[in-house]
Amino acid sequence: MNVAVMKTKAEQAISESFEVAAAKLPGSAAVQARRAQAIGAFSGLGLPHRRIEEWKYTDLRANLKEVLPAAVEDKTPLTIAELLVALGPLAHVDAHRIVFVNGHYRAGLSDTSDAAGLMTSTIAKALQSASEEAVARLASTPEGGDAVEALNTAFMTDGAIVEVAKGASVNRPLLMIFVRAGSDANAVTVRNLINAGEGASATIIEADVVLPGAVRDTHLNTLTEVSVGKGATLNHVKVAVDEGKSLHLSNWEVRLAADANYSGFQFSSGLGFARNGINVLFDGEGSKLDLSGAYLARHSEHVDTTLVVDHAVPHCESRELFKGVLDGHGRGVFQGKIIVRPDAQKTDGKQMSQALMLSEDAEFDSKPELEIYADDVVCGHGTTSAELDPDLLFYCRSRGIPEKEARALMIESFIGEALDKVEHEGLREALASYAMQWLGRSRRG
Amino acid sequence: MLEIKNLHVKLEDEDREILKGLSLTVPKGEVHAIMGPNGSGKSTLAYVLAGRDGYEVTDGDILWNGESILEMEPDERAAKGVFLAFQYPMEIPGVAGLTFLRTALNAVRKKRGETELTTPAFLKLAKEKGAKLNIDVEMLKRPVNVGFSGGEKKRSEILQMGLLEPTLCVLDETDSGLDIDALRVVSEGVNALRSPDRAFLVITHYQRLLNYIVPDKVHVLADGRIQKTGGKELALELEKSGYAEYSNKAA
Ligand SMILES: Nc1ncnc2c1ncn2[C@@H]1O[C@H](COP(=O)(O)OP(=O)(O)O)[C@@H](O)[C@H]1O
Ligand SMILES: [Mg+2]
């Protein structure tokens, strides 16, 4: 009997793609060894599919048929003006900027010159000279074997390393821009490391955008590891805006030290097939987590948000609020697990996931889970899915507001509650503008 | 002029006729009151005028300025000057009053071939008209009607009416849930809008409102039809004798 696991064509192609790319991927010998180990781990795991509980609604194996070549290098010409066009409403946010084109750092487009308290460098550079010890930090893959994160380690080309100095309060947000440009459909793999030092405070935005006219059917695999130090405050926002053809695999691995304040927000519209994983570990007492997001999907787009909030220590608070707007055959998936470990007394956790269904063919799957092993805790979760209220629509229309605009107003009001979680006003307005663009409405003057 | 001719209306999902051949004419410049017992079809008439789904007109017609409005969408009717002040105004969480008012006003202006108002011009107008109804900017910044008292909701309906400048104003039990002071403010708001090219249809269950908004005519609606028409003294009669007479007729 043949012991080899049956592999899909795509799984084989991924391994072959690694053979081709390996020599061009950045990294010292220690890094190359780590990459080889990761692709080995992936081979064992294969692409996650619907018979794996956490991937029940999001069958990656069935949806990743064509393997694109890894974007090992990039020379696509791109000007600042083009970058601003690609950014859209976010271009109006006054921010420090670090830019990656097709997964490769572009010094010429970046500007972090006056960012006091903020140190930025790149993964590619760090990998080049990484010792064995450094590899453990730069290319860690969480235990338990996540195939997507293993692929990230194997293929990562670049990304940002961000250090917010101890006690520093950074004046403006840092905008990490990942722009896709050019006409080559390829697979872009990015790794970011963010570390907010003790007592620091900063706002960091990740933006996945596409230059108008650029190829749309790309694959993205992004892993951002975040560590929030004791008493530090980090506002972390991810914006992914596309036009329905791309495959997005995104992961956030967040670790919170004691008395930390972490507010994470994810906005997406037009993602073809997306899995947004967010894992948060409470690693010190007295911390607060506020996770929220809004996603807009239509046609046959698929957006999955899968959270694991791990209350490993007592006296922490977590809040989650995710809102999805689903039109056409769009499908939203929400899986939210709150774990309260035996020691984590006085945990306060609340989770809410809501979908607004704009069409009969849209689908929403929600799976909240509470795993509670402590007795003195307050935890709750809720899920709702509703259509636009016809009485409200009539009320708006009776005031002269045309149907399309009335619907847009209702949709804006639905996601508004989530957007309100974004503290930075300019950023909040930019997100509202993306939503309005999606709704086919112009910016409100 | 509003002309309602032999209007028959049934519920879309139920084989129950609510309006059974209602006819009524309101010339411009006049205020007509419709009074009637609960369940007689007053709100149904108001909704059918504004174009709400869920009702089926099986016979008859509604003409506004000589044009049938039955096939028009609610927003088209609004652009043609039709306005319904709701018996139960809706709450719209997440939409600021100012945003709502501006969206509505500019939509209507656009359809009427007028230029849209700039933000400062709109704000000035909203403040001015709001002040007359004791509605300040803070209240307008709040989500539409959310957490408003009954009186606040009715006042904000009248503000919407004042801003949109309709020519056919239908008020559905605008007096319900109002104390005497609020009733005065609301009535003053309505009276300020009375003009030779506006028609009003004021629906009420009680005579009280008509002391403030004095009608040219009073119609009694019972059993889906206008049972009697008279001057403003008819309202006083009804206050004394009640609707029993008409309900008997209906039975
Ligand atoms: N959407 C509806 N669904 C079910 N019944 C309705 C609906 N609208 C009106 N009705 C019924 O029609 C009748 C007239 O109601 P309505 O027009 O609200 O009366 P009024 O405003 O005079 O009190 C009542 O019996 C009411 O229950
Ligand atoms: Mg009524």
Q: What is the pLDDT of residues A251-277, one digit of tens each?
A: 999 999 999 999 999 999 999 999 999
Q: Of B64, B65, B69, B40, which Cα lies nearest the Cα of B52?
A: B69
DSSP string, A384-445: EEEE--HHHHHHHHHTT--HHHHHHHHHHHHHHHHHTT---HHHHHHHHHHHHHHTT-PPP-
- pLDDT of B66 > 60? The answer is yes
Residue A328 lies in a domain: no
Count Cβ atoms within 10 A of the Cβ of residue B105 and give its class: 0-12 exposed, 13-18 middle, 19 or more buried: buried
The nearest CA of chain B is from the CA of A386 a distance in Å of 15
Question: What percent of chain B shows pLDDT beyond 90?
Answer: 89
A400 touches chain B (CB under 8 A): yes
Residues A395 and A271 in one domain: no
What lies within 8 Å, CB to CB, of A82 at 6+ separation is A181, A211
Closest CB from B75, B119, B143 relative to A401: B75
Point out the ligand 1 atom lying closest to the alpha carbon of residue B54: 1
What lies within 8 Å, CB to CB, of A81 at 6+ separation is none
User: What is the whole-number distance in angstroms between the Cα of residue B134 and the centre of ligand 2?
Assistant: 26
- pLDDT of B155 > 60? The answer is yes
Residue A143's pLDDT band, with cuts at 50, 70 and 90, is low
Residue A357's pLDDT band, with cuts at 50, 70 and 90, is very high
Q: Is the dihedral of CA B150, B152, B153, B159 positive or negative?
A: positive
Q: Quick check: B75 and A397 CB within 8 A? A: yes
Q: Which residues pair with B57 in a beta bridge?
A: B9
Q: Of A356, A360, A361, A359, which Cα lies nearest the Cα of A409?
A: A356
Residue A79 lies in a domain: yes
Q: Of A325, A323, A351, A326, which Cα lies nearest the Cα of A337?
A: A351
Residue pair A344/A282 in contact by the 8 Å Cβ criterion: yes
Q: How far apart are CA A326 and CA A329, in angstroms?
A: 8
Q: Of B53, B58, B89, B88, which Cα lies nearest the Cα of B73?
A: B53
Q: Which residues line ligand 1 (CB under 6 A)?
A: B 11, 18, 36, 38-44, 54
The per-residue pLDDT for range A213-254, each reduced to its tens digit, is 998 889 999 999 999 999 999 999 999 999 888 999 999 999
Domain boundaries, chain B: 2-250
Q: How far apart are CA A405 and CA B116, in angstroms?
A: 15
Q: Quick check: B84 and A398 CB within 8 A? A: yes
Residue B248's pLDDT band, with cuts at 50, 70 and 90, is low
What ligand is nearest to the CA atom of residue B36? 1
Mutational test site, ligand 1, from B9, B13, B43, max ligand atoms within 8 Å of CB: B43
What one-character DSSP code corresponds to residue A146? -
The nearest CA of chain B is from the CA of A412 a distance in Å of 8
User: What is the whole-number distance in angstroms between the Cα of residue B3 and the centre of ligand 2?
Assistant: 21
Side chain identity at residue B82, one-letter code: V
Mutational test site, ligand 1, from B14, B34, B44, B88, max ligand atoms within 8 Å of CB: B44
Among candidate residues A284, A315, A342, the one where a domain is terminated: A284
Count Cβ atoms within 10 A of the Cβ of residue B157 and give its class: 0-12 exposed, 13-18 middle, 19 or more buried: buried
Residue pair A60/A54 in contact by the 8 Å Cβ criterion: no
User: What is the whole-number distance in angstroms between the Cα of residue B175 and the centre of ligand 2?
Assistant: 12
Residue pair A208/A219 in contact by the 8 Å Cβ criterion: no
Residue A25 lies in a domain: yes
Q: How far apart are CA A79 and CA A99, in angstroms?
A: 12
- Per DSSP, the three-state class of A13 is helix
User: What is the whole-number distance in angstroms between the Cα of residue B9 and the centre of ligand 1?
Assistant: 11
Residue A365's pLDDT band, with cuts at 50, 70 and 90, is very high
Residues A195 and A77 in one domain: yes
Residue pair A413/B92 in contact by the 8 Å Cβ criterion: yes
Among candidate residues A284, A308, A334, the one where a domain is terminated: A284
Cβ-Cβ contacts under 8 Å, B171 against chain A = none
Token pair for A153: 């380690």
Q: How far apart are CA A262 and CA A381, in angstroms?
A: 20
Q: How far apart are CA A158 and CA A178, in angstroms?
A: 11
The alpha-helical segments, DSSP class H, found in A73-122 are 80-87
Residue A133's pLDDT band, with cuts at 50, 70 and 90, is confident
Average pLDDT over chain B, rounded to an integer:
94
- Which residue puts its alpha carbon closest to atom 24 of ligand 1? B39
Residue pair A194/A224 in contact by the 8 Å Cβ criterion: yes
Cβ-Cβ contacts under 8 Å, B90 against chain A = 391-392, 395
H or E stretch covering B19: strand B17-26
Number of separate domains in chain A: 2
Cβ-Cβ contacts under 8 Å, B107 against chain A = 399-402, 405
Strands of A229-269 (E only): list them: 233-241, 247-256, 261-269
Contact map slice: B 176-235 vs A, CB within 8 A:
none
- Which residue puts its alpha carbon closest to atom 3 of ligand 1? B11
B79 touches chain A (CB under 8 A): yes
- pLDDT of A12 > 60? The answer is yes
Among candidate residues A265, A284, A303, the one where a domain is terminated: A284
* Residue of chain B minimizing CA distance to A401: B104
- Which residue puts its alpha carbon closest to atom 4 of ligand 1? B11
What lies within 8 Å, CB to CB, of A318 at 6+ separation is A280, A282, A288, A289, A290, A291, A309, A311, A338, A347, A348, A349, A350, A351
Question: What percent of chain A shows pLDDT beyond 90?
Answer: 89
Compute how many other C-beta atoms are within 10 angstroms of the C-beta atom of residue B149: 12
Angle between the N-to-C axes of helices B180-193 and B150-164, in degrees from 0 to 180, rounded to the nearest 10: 10
Residue A14: C-alpha distances to residues A17, A186, A285 (Å): 5, 12, 42
Domain encompassing residue A60: 9-284
- Per DSSP, the three-state class of A323 is strand
Q: How far apart are CA A227 and CA A204, in angstroms?
A: 13
B123 touches chain A (CB under 8 A): no
The per-residue pLDDT for range A38-66, each reduced to its tens digit, is 999 999 999 999 999 999 999 999 999 99
Point out the ligand 1 atom lying closest to the alpha carbon of residue B44: 17
Angle between the N-to-C axes of helices B97-111 and B150-164, in degrees from 0 to 180, rounded to the nearest 10: 30
The per-residue pLDDT for range B108-154, each reduced to its tens digit, is 999 999 999 999 999 999 999 999 999 999 999 999 999 999 999 99
What lies within 8 Å, CB to CB, of A96 at 6+ separation is A111, A112, A114, A115, A118, A120, A170, A172, A173, A174, A175
Mean pLDDT, to the nearest integer, of B32-57?
Answer: 96
Q: Is the dihedral of CA B137, B143, B145, B149 positive or negative?
A: negative
What ligand is nearest to the CA atom of residue B16? 1
- pLDDT of B30 > 70? The answer is yes
Q: In chain A, count of helices (H) and strands (E)? A: 10, 19
The per-residue pLDDT for range B1-12, each reduced to its tens digit, is 999 999 999 999
Distance of CA A173 to the CA centre of its chain: 17
Task: Give the class (CATH, top level) of B2-250.
Answer: alpha beta
Three-state SS annotation for A370-396: EEECCCCCEEEEEEEEEECCHHHHHHH
